[in-house]
Structure 1
Amino acid sequence: MSYLTYIFPIAAALCVIYMAWRWMPIFADPFENAREDVPPDEGVETPKRARKALSFSSPEGRITRRDALIALVITLVYAAAAFTGLGRTSSPQSFCKFTERGRYVDIALPEETVVTKIRYFCGLHTGRYSVQLSQDGENWTDAGSLEQSYTEIFKWMDSTEEDYTPGSARYVRLIASDELWLGEIALYGADGERIDASLLEYDAGCAPLFDEQDTVPEEISYLNSTYFDEIYHARTAVEQIEGVYPYEITHPPLGKLIIAAGIQLLGLTPFGWRFAGTLFGALMLPILYSFLKRMLRSTSVAACGTVIFAFDFMHFVQTRIATIDTYAVFFILLMYLFMWRFVSGGKWRYLALSGLFFGLGAASKWTCIYAGAGLAVIWLIYWITRRRREGFWRDFISNCLFCLVFFVALPLAIYYASYYFYGTARGLGGGVGMFFTRDYFDIVWDNQVYMWEYHSDLVAEHPYSSRWYQWLVDARPILYYLERFDDGTKSAFGAFMNPIFCWAGLLAVVANAILAVKDRDGRALFIVTGYLAQLLPWVLVTRLTFAYHYFPCEVFMLLALCNVFTRLRERQPWTANRQMYVFTAACVLLFIAFYPVLTGVRTPTWYTTGFLKWFPSWPF
């Protein structure tokens, strides 16, 4: 690491500390600070607050055409960046399906040649293909094997020196060890060039191995293959499409069904299995903008907050990988938006919508159950603040019954129904009647027991795992992909937060906690409750954890930061505006600077190690 590498994080940390120091006026008593002139673009009411009882009640900011346009522009700019370089749009769609152990295919070469390498695309199921070579098609010699392990599903692979010995042959035979699906294959001759597939002879049954030769890549990378947990979640999505009982059953099914929808729409390609997550990542932005505008009633705060979140590193990277965390955060954002609209305005229809999205989230990932605990705390505090109102018990009991429907019965129904394709894969026939069979209930129940035992008893190690206290300061990113090249460049990317957003957001959560206690600020209490609901369960977890588990907390860190900006604007609008705009610009500039390690763009190693490796624990 060079001296420059130390200068950047130190300077960034000092700027964040200085920014937080300028927040001090928000903690003063209401009339201690004189208010500066109102900026010409947006008026801010002079605070006349006395100490008051805690309440969530708040007038809601109205969404105007201007707001809709700003949110649309931010979303489109983000979507353009997110969908660029997401993955190849072409990949093998047909597979040669070996239905049982011992099934084989024979391939006749145009002439005798040394087959130096075999490149192949792994489909469903795991096992290996034994490779045999022959001069005459009668006498065969073992040449090794091609692996198709669980870590290689929907990946392009090359035969390795350890497992395959090149030899001269006129015929090649592949023998499956188990039921296996194999996509396209390419054979390479003595000169290292790919043998023209149109010159090969083979049975019609193995035609899928050579019918999409244009999909064979020149180089194998994340752009044409699965990486990290895509090997589980993209695989399970395809299994549910194909009627195969899923391999990955450590999370509820809904998130993988959403991935499957993208595959059905765009095909079994890297772009297809990543499409839905990236789309949901883009759709978070107008929802977040609406949340900020309705809660804080400021167009400029909503716009800046949405930009900060849009170009946060974690949001960008995590929504571009075909895993289920994106859907959990998406539904958490919606369930808290509608809970806020309920507690601030009292309309029960928003409570129903909050329950609906809680159900969808819980059926995607259990992380959303943590969010549900936060919703329950907020709901209970809301009713405690109304306990002295006339008709309290009547309204409270009615609302309890209402919540039993929308936060218990409806989520349970969604969760239960999400296992539909598990049932059909077990031969239960489908249809509504399947839900009422004992066999279907057993499938659902047994999976809950399995998930609980798996997550409780998991003992594993990973070089890029991290603990919850490391997430707070961005200390240990998770590296998703790394490839080094001989010319001094590399392709690498991982999931971690924009460091200045991470640090400022954490300080903003602390500031909101102070405001919640000192000023009985309902907004601040709402935000801190949501943040703690997502963080505290991980404090108690002893199993393997990663930086992306902090992703749901970012929603509340952003809300906390924007609430601080809003409170500061009430006291010192010019100071607050300058700070907010400069901070937003700094977040965007850091996104641009770190873009190579967020996307895997091939970059000189001197740049990543000399400028982007801010801490020794950052794996760039």
Structure 2
Amino acid sequence: MIFDETYFGLFATKYLSHRYYFNIHPPLGKMLLAVPAFFRNVKPGFDFVSGVSYGDFNFLPLRFLPAFLGSVLPLLIYLLVKELGFSKRVAFLSGFMVLLDNAILVQSRFILMDIILVFFIFLSLYLFLLSRRFPVFSYKWHLSNIFLAISLGTAISIKWTGFGILGIIWFLIVFQDRLFFTFKKEIIVKIGLLFILPLLLYFLVFAMHFYLLPLSCSKDCGAVLGDDFRERVRGLSHYENNSIEQGLFVKFVETNKAMFISNFDTETSYPYQSSWYSWPFMARPIKYFEESYGDTTSFIYFFGNPFVWWLGIIGVVGYFYLIIKNYFYNFKLKLPQTFYSKNIFILLLGYFVYTSSFVMVERFTLLYHYLPALIFSIILLSVFFEGILDMYFRRSGKGVLCMYIGVLTLILVGFVYFSPLTYGLPVSTEKYNQMMWLDSWR
């Protein structure tokens, strides 16, 4: 039992015992975790204490969904990059880096929310791009937009971070697709499908949450429900007891108020907290687990593949440099067509939104908050790398092949080298010290 499994595992099993709980995030992620547990007849009652062995408790169904979505995420990124209009080489490199990033793998192995959230963020973007293929109001157009609305509703109902992709898609609809210069019927339908429907799904998730948890909370009502928190939200009568007779909308509003207050709680801190500007450099990984076995110790870290994370900076900085040079300093350098794809803007916008959205957050932040931006940086790097090869190795097929093999090998070596920190393999003190390239990683 490691890290936030103590919370999310506990909350997921509340849907099996039907006892109410409160959490600072919307409930859908925990509901989805509970579905495999329900079908596998997992019995509630396990205490979910950090560091405690599962014993006879059947934890595998609770870990199923993050593991499954994490395993198909590289394929989704491959399809997304293809839908963005880039080559199979770019798509393969992007998927390969997602596949062999240690942090993404770690987050997929446990009862955690972030991979579920990341999957639906990028599924939403893929479905949005797919919907652009089809004639407006055709059967496929309607179908793809309905699935997009469901995906958007799912993302915002897992964590509020999901609202980022909703904002990105609406920015693209308004400014790239010039929505308000189209037919009025299309405007109305898109507002209904891609704005009202996701928000309606968000509300319905809470309605289901209240319906499934009719029993009062007796213990383990939620980690944030300490005396200080009770004092701050004492005017909100519903945040810990679903047995109070109230209207559904009142419950919904009061619970979201309590979530908002807790999300902006600045009194708490965490030893492995980190600031948003340090995330691209992976300056402060998170130690999830540590256990000694004589002369060796097992560690599990939220720790990325340094070659994926650090090379990703090149893609982001490289494109911002070219934009500044071309549009602000009239620097007209003849570049391969790859650099001029209009969909580069989508990737830069995604990276900017999922990095800048944490700038104003006063509550402590952690490295895993960077995961959506990381994947945008991975795709940007892959496209940038393709453009560089087109510039300097266009006439040398062997040169291009050697460069690709070199990058793929570097990523594979980084993954294997740091894999003991991913899988919790016992390592000696000497080996551990060798892997701690930066003092802040300890």
TM-score bracket for this pair, using the shorter chain length: 0.7 to 0.9
Mapped partners of 1:297, 1:496: distance in 2: 29
| 1:356-435 alignment runs, 5 A limit | 356-384=150-178, 393-395=181-183, 397-419=184-206, 420-426=208-214
With 232-241 and 416-425 compared, the bigger mean Cα shift is at: 416-425
Counterpart for residue 461 of structure 1: 269
Deviations 1:126-158 (Å, cap 9, x if unpaired)? xxxxxxxxxxxxxxxxxxxxxxxxxxxxxxxxx
The two structures have a TM-score, normalised by structure 1, of: 0.57
Identify which of 516, 539, 558 aligns with 2:378.
Answer: 558
Deviations 1:335-367 (Å, cap 9, x if unpaired)? 111223345777644444333211110011111
Counterpart for residue 64 of structure 1: none
| Matched-pair contact (CA < 8 Å) for 1:324–1:364 | yes
2:127 alignment partner AA = F
Counterpart for residue 617 of structure 1: 440
Mapped partners of 2:433, 2:130: distance in 1: 46
Mapped partners of 1:451, 1:325: distance in 2: 18
| Matched-pair contact (CA < 8 Å) for 1:274–1:322 | yes
| 1:186-265 alignment runs, 5 A limit | 226-246=1-21, 248-265=22-39
Deviations 1:491-512 (Å, cap 9, x if unpaired)? 1111132111111112201223
SS of equivalent to 2:281: coil
Counterpart for residue 511 of structure 1: 318
SS of equivalent to 1:494: strand
Deviation of residue 423 (structure 1)? 2.9
Mapped partners of 2:311, 2:132: distance in 1: 27
The two structures have a TM-score, normalised by structure 2, of: 0.79
Find out whether 1:475 has 2:262 as its counterpart: no
Find out whether 1:608 has 2:432 as its counterpart: yes
Deviations 1:569-588 (Å, cap 9, x if unpaired)? 44334454433331122111
| Matched-pair contact (CA < 8 Å) for 1:512–1:525 | no
Q: Are residues 265 and 310 of structure 1, via their aligned partners in 2, closer, same or farther at CA, if it must alter by over 3 Å?
A: farther
Mapped partners of 1:394, 1:378: distance in 2: 14
Mapped partners of 1:583, 1:346: distance in 2: 40
Counterpart for residue 105 of structure 1: none
SS of equivalent to 1:522: coil
Identify which of 296, 305, 326 aligns with 1:498.
Answer: 305
Counterpart for residue 79 of structure 2: 290
| Matched-pair contact (CA < 8 Å) for 1:293–1:299 | yes
1:309 alignment partner AA = V
Q: Are residues 516 and 374 of structure 1, via their aligned partners in 2, closer, same or farther at CA, if it must alter by over 3 Å?
A: farther
Mapped partners of 1:481, 1:570: distance in 2: 44
Deviation of residue 427 (structure 1)? 6.2
- Give unmatched runs, 5+ long, in structure 2: 43-56, 217-244, 327-338
| Matched-pair contact (CA < 8 Å) for 1:565–1:580 | no
Mapped partners of 1:369, 1:319: distance in 2: 22
1:596 alignment partner AA = P
Percent identical among aligned pairs is 23
Mapped partners of 2:215, 2:110: distance in 1: 31
1:599 alignment partner AA = Y
1:470 alignment partner AA = S
Deviation of residue 264 (structure 1)? 2.2
Q: Are residues 338 and 511 of structure 1, via their aligned partners in 2, closer, same or farther at CA, if it must alter by over 3 Å?
A: farther
SS of equivalent to 1:256: helix
Counterpart for residue 598 of structure 1: 422
Deviation of residue 249 (structure 1)? 1.7
1:561 alignment partner AA = L
Counterpart for residue 252 of structure 2: 444
How many residues were matched structurally? 376
Mapped partners of 1:307, 1:532: distance in 2: 23
Q: Are residues 344 and 617 of structure 1, via their aligned partners in 2, closer, same or farther at CA, if it must alter by over 3 Å?
A: farther
Deviations 1:169-219 (Å, cap 9, x if unpaired)? xxxxxxxxxxxxxxxxxxxxxxxxxxxxxxxxxxxxxxxxxxxxxxxxxxx
Q: How large is the RMSD of aligned CA atoms in angstroms?
A: 2.3
Mapped partners of 1:580, 1:406: distance in 2: 42
Deviation of residue 558 (structure 1)? 1.7
Deviation of residue 410 (structure 1)? 1.3
| Matched-pair contact (CA < 8 Å) for 2:20–2:215 | no
Q: Are residues 393 and 296 of structure 1, via their aligned partners in 2, closer, same or farther at CA, if it must alter by over 3 Å?
A: closer
Deviations 1:11-53 (Å, cap 9, x if unpaired)? xxxxxxxxxxxxxxxxxxxxxxxxxxxxxxxxxxxxxxxxxxx
Structure with the higher strand share, 1 or 2: 1
Mapped partners of 1:338, 1:501: distance in 2: 26
Deviations 1:314-339 (Å, cap 9, x if unpaired)? 11011112111111101001111122
2:15 alignment partner AA = Q
Q: Are residues 577 and 400 of structure 1, via their aligned partners in 2, closer, same or farther at CA, if it must alter by over 3 Å?
A: farther
2:309 alignment partner AA = C
Counterpart for residue 3 of structure 1: none
SS of equivalent to 1:241: helix
Identify which of 332, 349, 360 aligns with 1:540.
Answer: 360
Mapped partners of 2:414, 2:110: distance in 1: 21
Counterpart for residue 587 of structure 1: 411
Counterpart for residue 76 of structure 1: none
Mapped partners of 1:464, 1:323: distance in 2: 17
2:380 alignment partner AA = A
1:393 alignment partner AA = F
Structure with the higher helix share, 1 or 2: 2
- Give unmatched runs, 5+ long, in structure 1: 1-225, 387-391, 429-436
Deviations 1:543-599 (Å, cap 9, x if unpaired)? 111111111112211211121133234433445443333112211111111111011
Counterpart for residue 51 of structure 2: none
| Matched-pair contact (CA < 8 Å) for 1:331–1:360 | yes
Q: Are residues 243 and 568 of structure 1, via their aligned partners in 2, closer, same or farther at CA, if it must alter by over 3 Å?
A: same
Deviation of residue 243 (structure 1)? 0.7
| Matched-pair contact (CA < 8 Å) for 1:516–1:525 | no
Mapped partners of 2:76, 2:372: distance in 1: 15
